[in-house]
A and B are shown apart, each in its own frame.
Chain A
Amino acid sequence: MRRRAMLALGAGLPVASVARAQGSAAAAWPSRPVRLLVPFIPGSAPDVIARQLAERIAPALGQPVVVENRGGAGGNIGFEAAARAAPDGYTLLLGTNSLIINPALTRRSLGFDAFRDFAPITVAFAMPHLLIVPPGGPDSLAALIASLRARPDQNYASGGNGSGAHLAAEMFKARAGVQATHVPFRGAPDIVNNVMSGQVQLGFPTLATATELVRAGRLKALGVTSAARNHALPNVPPIAETLPGFDLVSWFAVMAPAGTPPAVILRVDAAVQDALADAAFRARATADGSTAVGLGPDRFAAFLRREAEIWGEAVRVSGATVD
């Protein structure tokens, strides 16, 4: 008991005080392995991030953190499972922007509500999308917009209806006032493939999937969707420089079912923040162009509301709502 409290103290002062207030049950947390639900298949980008985080925060929690993949239906199956899980601190969720996109895509009610069913913990990483064109394509965003105005029958590639790449492109179309036809492929890698070979004229894959090809000159990058430049491709300007206010990123966050004890939330947040502050871990995890965010529980809720507005607008302008 005493030893556990000391451990909590080591993880951060505020945790220790809350833990005392919560009594022995929370102070004893975690007494068995904690599971981190990933609503996507093994090998997907969220899965790789989850496995890195799980490994890094386990020592601080004093118990293994086990990644459990519940893939399918664009994340809905896993989100629903997390929403229904007992809020005892032994279930964490790797949340992504799909959490707020998916409900906006359908008029049916899904088995979860992003605001009601989850306790925000930490937004860990963000990943911008990259506007790419074939090597022989337009040289600048302005040139692309002019080209799309002149020939509105051009196509853009996405990883599927309602994917980040699809919505980013629709948002771009709306803001720039241009037209292009949506070609929904089976997954994000197909975007790169089809734009590289010139079969489709543009696309908005996540930055990581295209970085090396841009560096090698196999693709031309005209802009990043984040408000700031990205460290992986510092020469690529933000789209916001041409279309002010354009800011759309995919993000990866640690969450828990609503009702999870605050002491647990603070301790997990402390462990994640600690990991993000570790230069070696940070370098390893952001090598692909993602950025460390480290937004704690106090600011996460506001972040979520803002994101819901942004992606909600993207879904509206795309007309992607189904059924």
Chain B
Amino acid sequence: MKLSDRVSGALLVVLGAAAAISGSRLPAVPGQDVGPAVFPMVVGGGLVLCGAAIALGIGHAFEAPDEEEGGPRGQWYGLRALVPPALLVFYVLVVEPLGFLPTAAIIVGVASAALGAGWRLALPLALVAPFAVHAVFAKLLRVPLPDGLLAAPW
């Protein structure tokens, strides 16, 4: 997701404008002359200015040069970066029906494989790590992790 400054600056201008406009529609509150609308409008306005400045290349001289990494890669290689957030969404969706231990095992196993681990590392890790995390967070610190299909043995 390397964007040019023009694109990222323009995105900020759009975001800032949207924030300022929807902020300005917030109702006033009796007794407060500076109501809830002011702060989003100021921040949104600031974002518009910054976004425009970035799009025009102001301040670019201060940036450290890019460290371009890696050689040529496939077209879809960049999508690999989405694996961690996708796993987190997966956790949100299935942890309650499935239970913490199986969900965690799947997450650890998939992430490990995606990072290039062989099954001799990924499999034991997926089996051990969920129990260790559950022991510390649920057992010792009483974080209410759901049991789902497979309750922890403690």
Q: Which residues of A contact B (CB under 8 A)?
A: 35, 66, 68, 161, 181-182, 319, 322-323
Q: Is the CB of B142 within 8 A of A66?
A: yes
Contact B144 A68 (CB under 8 A): yes
Are A319 and B144 neighbours in the complex by a CB distance under 8 Å? no
User: What size tier do the contact residues of chain B reach?
Assistant: under 10
Which B residues touch A322, using CB under 8 A?
Answer: 27, 29
Task: Write out the residue numbers on chain A whose beta carbons fall within 8 Å of the beta carbon of B144.
Answer: 35, 66, 68
Q: Quick check: B27 and A323 within 8 Å, CB to CB?
A: yes
B31 touches which of A66, A181, A323 (Cβ 8 Å)? A181
The distance from the CB of B83 to the nearest CB of chain A, in whole angstroms, is 30
Per the 8 Å Cβ criterion, residues 124-154 of B in contact with A are 142, 144
Question: For chain A, what secondary structure do more than half of its interface residues adopt (helix, strand, loop), or is it mixed?
Answer: strand
Chain B residues contacting A66 (CB-CB under 8 Å) are 142, 144
Question: What are the nearest 8 A-B pairs in CB distance?
Answer: A66-B142, A182-B31, A319-B30, A68-B144, A181-B31, A35-B144, A323-B27, A66-B144
Chain A nearest CB: distance from B93 CB in Å?
18
11 CB contacts below 8 A, A to B, read A35-B144, A66-B142, A66-B144, A68-B144, A161-B29, A181-B31, A182-B31, A319-B30, A322-B27, A322-B29, A323-B27
Contacts of A35 in B (CB 8 A): 144
In the bound complex, what is the Cα–Cα distance between A35 and B143 (angstroms)? 11
B13-37 Cβ-contact flags toward A at 8 Å (1 or 0): 0000000000000010111000000
Please give the residue numbers on chain B whose beta carbons come within 8 Å of chain A beta carbons, in ascending order.
27, 29-31, 142, 144
Residues of A within 8 A of B30 (CB): 319
Report the Cα distance A161→B29, complex, angstroms: 10
- Bound-state Cα–Cα, A161 to B31, Å: 11
The distance from the CB of A74 to the nearest CB of chain B, in whole angstroms, is 15
Bound complex: CA of A322 vs CA of B144, how far in Å?
34
Query: Which chain A residue shows the least CB distance to B36?
Result: A322
Complex Cα spacing A319 to B144, Å: 39
Q: Report Cα–Cα, A55/B30, bound state, in Å.
A: 44
Give complex CA distance A68, B144 in Å. 8
Chain A residues within an 8 Å CB radius of B27: 322-323
Give every chain B residue within 8 A of A182 (Cβ-Cβ).
Answer: 31
Using CB atoms, name the residue of chain A closest to B30.
A319
Q: How far is the CA of A323 from the CA of B29 in the complex (A)?
A: 9
Closest to B142 in A: A66
Chain A: minimal CB distance from B148 (Å): 15
In the bound assembly, the distance between CA atoms of A242 and B27 in angstroms comes to 37
How far, in angstroms, from A182 to B30 measured CA to CA in the complex?
10
Q: Measured between alpha carbons, how far is A207 from B31 in the docked complex, in Å?
A: 26
Measured CB to CB, the nearest residue on chain A to B144 is A68
Q: How far is the CB of A51 from chain B (nearest CB, A)?
A: 12
Q: Which residues of A contact B31 (CB under 8 A)?
A: 181-182
> How far does the Cβ of B99 sit from chain A's closest Cβ, in whole Å?
15
Min distance, Cβ A119 to any Cβ of chain B, angstroms: 21
**How far in angstroms is the closest Cβ of chain A from B40?**
15
Report A114 CB to chain B, min CB distance, Å.
24
Chain B residue nearest to A67 in the complex (CB): B142
- Expressed in whole angstroms, the Cα–Cα distance for A182 and B32 within the complex equals 9
Beyond A66-B144, A322-B27, A323-B27, 8 additional pairs, beta carbon < 8 A = A35-B144, A66-B142, A68-B144, A161-B29, A181-B31, A182-B31, A319-B30, A322-B29
A208 to chain B, nearest CB (A): 27
- How near does chain A come to B73, taking the closest CB pair, in angstroms? 42
A256 and B89 alpha carbons, distance in the complex (Å): 31
